[in-house]
Chain A
Amino acid sequence: MSAAPIKFYQVGSFAIGNRLLSPEDRSIQSDPERTNALTSGHRACQGCGEALGARYALDAAMRATDDKIIAVNATGCLEVFSTPYPESSWRIAWLHSLFGNAPAVATGVAAALKAQGKSDIRVIGQGGDGATVDIGFGALSGMFERNDDVLYICYDNEAYMNTGVQRSGATPPAARTATTQAVGENPGNVFGQGKNLPRIAMAHEIPYVATATVADLRDLEAKVIKAMSFRGARYIHVLVPCPLGWGSESCDTIKIARLATQSGLFPVFEAESGEVTSSTPIRHRVKVEEYLKLQIRYSHLFSPNRRDDVIDLLQATADKNISRYNLIPDESGSI
């Protein structure tokens, strides 16, 4: 072999691993000895994005901390599908209390560890978008404001899926849910409402805020590992498509998450102390329509009458993200 390093062109770094990469260049998930924080036998639906996101994130956190993590879980799909008594899918120390108090309990666990001088054991709070954006929001804001040493991870599937797909503060405009039916002049969820929690977290000026999706494993792993290098309150917001609630094919979970990023609807970025420090550029830009049409929750935008007015509004949201987070460096703005 020649001495010059041979670049790896076949799949670049986009795939999970590759036989040609050195072990240190592979993702944690490609390791046959990976910890599988969330193991098999859980009752998540076929193609569940949240089950995938939780395993990706927690396996990375375990790698970063030598397996010394305690997770505090809010009520929600993740809690329900992983722990029907007397079984558990968790292979980490794991605690569940109420729907709304996960950040506060995580704060308490962190305080207890501090009191015992166990600084090597790290605390993770986690929940779905309902627990994070709505029900536990006050507790989370408090946790941020006190800068408690907790990494809080929100697995965002954009509605209350476990209880029957009701709208949450993270449900996007125009999406149909059980409580925002596709009826009337403005079908689906209304425009101009809801919360952007990554930006709210940034407003607390906590050390680290990031967004990620299940479509980019390496990015998610890198962000979790980076988050564990900070002390204080940290927040990662992971987009996890939900085949049940979004009305998508179970095999399309990752594809849909990828289209969310490539359309600009879900910007992937990181921020430190309230300032955006980097964003993941769009590689193959697509129109929002490509993303929308795979999901039954948006089907009323295409039939019986095509609603170009609504699609245009969603495209405008994506375009705004693209310029706000510089998702297409040096772009002219047109597709």
Chain B
Amino acid sequence: MEKPFAITLSVNSSLANHTGSWRVEKPEYVHRMPPCNNACPAGENIQNWLYIAEDGSYEAAWRALILENPFPAIMGRVCYHPCQSVCNRAELDEAVGINSVERFLGDHAIEKGWSIPPPTVESGFKVLVIGAGPAGLSAAYHLRSMGHSVTVRDATHAPGGMMRYGIPKYRLPREVLDAEINRIKDMGVQFEMNTRVDDVHEALNEGFSAVFLAIGAQLSKRAYIPASEAARILDAIKVLHDVEEGNQPLLGRKVVVYGGGNTAMDVARTAKRLGAEEAIIVYRRTRDKAPANDEEITEALEEGILVKWLSTVKHVDEKSMQIEKMALDADGYPQPTGEFETLEADSLILALGQEVDFSLLGNSADIDTKDGVMPVDSTMMTTHPGIFAGGDMIPAERTVTTGVGHGKKAARNIDAWLRKTVYEKIDNNDLVTYEQLNTWYYTDAPHIVRERLEATRRAKDFSEVVKGLDESNALYEARRCMSCGNCFECDNCFGVCPDNAIIKLGPGKGFEINLDYCKGCGICVSECPSSSIMMVPDK
């Protein structure tokens, strides 16, 4: 027998002694739900694409991302990133700038011209998508990926829905929007623009096996405001739509916007860019009660938009309007105070929320609507078999990302319905909390703040306000991810085992437990930074 260096006597190795028999519990590698993924309305696997991006594999990361959401460059600009609000890293230093990395990947993909291949197998089913907004486009993309023949119909002349006709250019440049939509066109999705659908049932008779309704909520809510005949009152959605179409609305020098939502912020900032000297938002409640995203309020204020909180518009005249001050009662509801103020203004823009235009349903009274929206079941199907709905027209939060999520969910269920199966959602409720992480191993690294155009300069034109990250800081940001609940191959378990009972399988392959020797001490579990190993009863 050949002996190791300086060994003269043959001894037996302790490898013959299988200490695994001591064990009552064993460690097991798990995939748990990171809070970001759990919060994403579009169901993105954020931890996963950040993990892939961390080593510079941007194309692979982008391809992983678009499995769930075809619009990373759009998301990176307009998503209100609920993922960041729940990021565990926020408790350590600051949340990971997920949104900025997403934008970097999206922009990088556009720059490199990465495309999405058409499906390799055609299913033979035809699906009609009504509405080319985020929900409709997302559904079309996913349905096409699954091999279905998809037609998108929309009454406007360019696809995008509220992404084009609601969100101003300074937040979402149209080249970005077009690039991401064109990718879906290139997959073979048919777009029939300038085509208003007046009867859903008629469409079903054209040979479509299923319909996805995503017409959005485009009717502006009205409030009764006494006004003189010469008063100029406009509606926010119409203003934003006209600006997009190149028809400058006449707003005057001083513009008052009534409402506290994102549309109110957008239209006030747009008015300023169109040359209004003053844009004043009037809202009946306080800033913390306003439905607008806080970042948007901040950006609006930075641009010199004035806001009158706790105020309502009582009467509108040609050159002025009367405002009543409000006060919050004990329950937090605004109540009139009887105190009035006169505001000089040339026009009033109403941004009081939107409603669904159900007129398109025509004679389809058999599809139920309730409280101004269309209820759907857990598969996104309306009360009419084969007709599904999503986006702003169903009861849910009205954001682009939510719409994209609806489109995906509907596509999966439409696919299952067409194939006469049931889409099985994988339930993973095992959410990783901050306390479950071993944060000792994470270095302190504050997040990067994206550069913005100077407020004074940006209110003059429609150039993009928030800048993107470059490659080096996008990579830094991606690497701040703590990989909650998913192994990122830090080798801790492999290193800390007193019994050498962890087998390292190599890059990308993770680890395995050698149960012959694992005594079940649990050190690997305690020292795992990301809570990706758990002790489970043995046998």
Q: What residues make up the interface of A, taking CB atoms closer than 8 Å to B?
A: 1-2, 4, 6-12, 14-20, 26-27, 29-30, 32, 36, 39-44, 46-49, 51-52, 55, 67-68, 70, 82, 86-89, 91-93, 121, 217, 243, 249-255, 258, 283-284
Known: A41-B15, A43-B19, A88-B14. A258 touches B440 (CB 8 A): yes
**Besides the contacts A17-B490, A19-B507, what 10 more A-B pairs have beta carbons closer than 8 Å?**
A1-B56, A10-B442, A16-B491, A19-B489, A19-B508, A27-B491, A30-B504, A68-B5, A92-B4, A255-B526
Query: Which one of B18, B440, B482 has the highest number of Cβ atoms from chain A below 10 Å of its Cβ?
Result: B440
Do B476 and A6 touch across chains, with their CB atoms under 8 A apart? yes
Q: Does B429 contact A (CB under 8 A)?
A: no
Q: Does A250 lie within 8 Å of B11, measured CB to CB?
A: no
- Taken together as a complex, chains A and B put the C-alpha atoms of A283 and B439 apart, in Å, by 12
In the complex, 8 of the A-B residue pairs with CB atoms within 8 angstroms, ordered by the A residue number, are A10-B442, A10-B481, A11-B442, A12-B441, A19-B488, A19-B508, A27-B495, A43-B19
Docked pose: A243 CA to B492 CA in angstroms? 20
The chain A residue sitting closest to B56, CB to CB, is A1
Contact B527 A20 (CB under 8 A): no
Chain B interface size band reads: 35 or more
* Cβ-defined contact, B499 with A42, below 8 A: yes
- Report the bound CA distance from A2 to B6 in whole Å: 50
Q: Is the CB of A41 within 8 A of B5?
A: no
Bound CA–CA A42/B16 (angstroms): 10
Whether A20 contacts B55 in the complex (CB less than 8 A), given A15-B491, A41-B19, A87-B13, comes out as yes
**Contacts A7-B476, A41-B14; is A1 near B471 (CB within 8 Å)?**
yes
Pick from B54, B504, B521, B529: contact of A15, CB below 8 A: B529
> Bound complex: CA of A46 vs CA of B499, how far in Å?
9
* Contacts known (A16-B495, A93-B7); A40 close to B514, Cβ less than 8 A: yes
CB-nearest residue of chain B relative to A253?
A: B523
A284 to chain B, nearest CB (A): 7
Contact A217 B5, beta carbon cutoff 8 Å: no
- Closest beta carbon of chain A to B208's beta carbon, Å: 47
Interface of B is mostly: loop
With A29-B495, A39-B500, A87-B17 as known contacts, state yes or no: A46 contacts B490, CB within 8 Å: no
Of B56, B479, B490, B501, chain A has the most CB atoms within 10 Å of the CB of: B490
Within 8 Å CB of A18, what residues of B?
A: 488-491
Contact with A along B299-337 (1 / 0, CB 8 A): 000000000000000000000000000000000000000
CB distance from B378 to the nearest CB of A (A): 38
Partner of A254, one of B54, B472, B527: B527
The minimal Cβ–Cβ distance linking A21 to chain B, given in whole angstroms, is 9
Option from B476, B494, B499 in Cβ contact (under 8 Å) with A29: B494
Q: Interface 1/0s, chain B 516-539, versus A by CB < 8 A? A: 110111110111010000010000
Q: Is the CB of A46 within 8 A of B521?
A: yes
Which residues of A lie under 8 Å from residue B521 when comparing CB positions? 46-48, 243, 250-251, 253
- Smallest CB separation, B270 vs chain A (Å): 37
Per the 8 Å Cβ criterion, residues 158-192 of B in contact with A are none
Task: Name B22's closest neighbour in chain A (CB-CB).
Answer: A46
A52's partner among B481, B482, B498 (CB-CB below 8 A) is B498
Per the 8 Å Cβ criterion, residues 5-44 of B in contact with A are 5-7, 11-19, 22
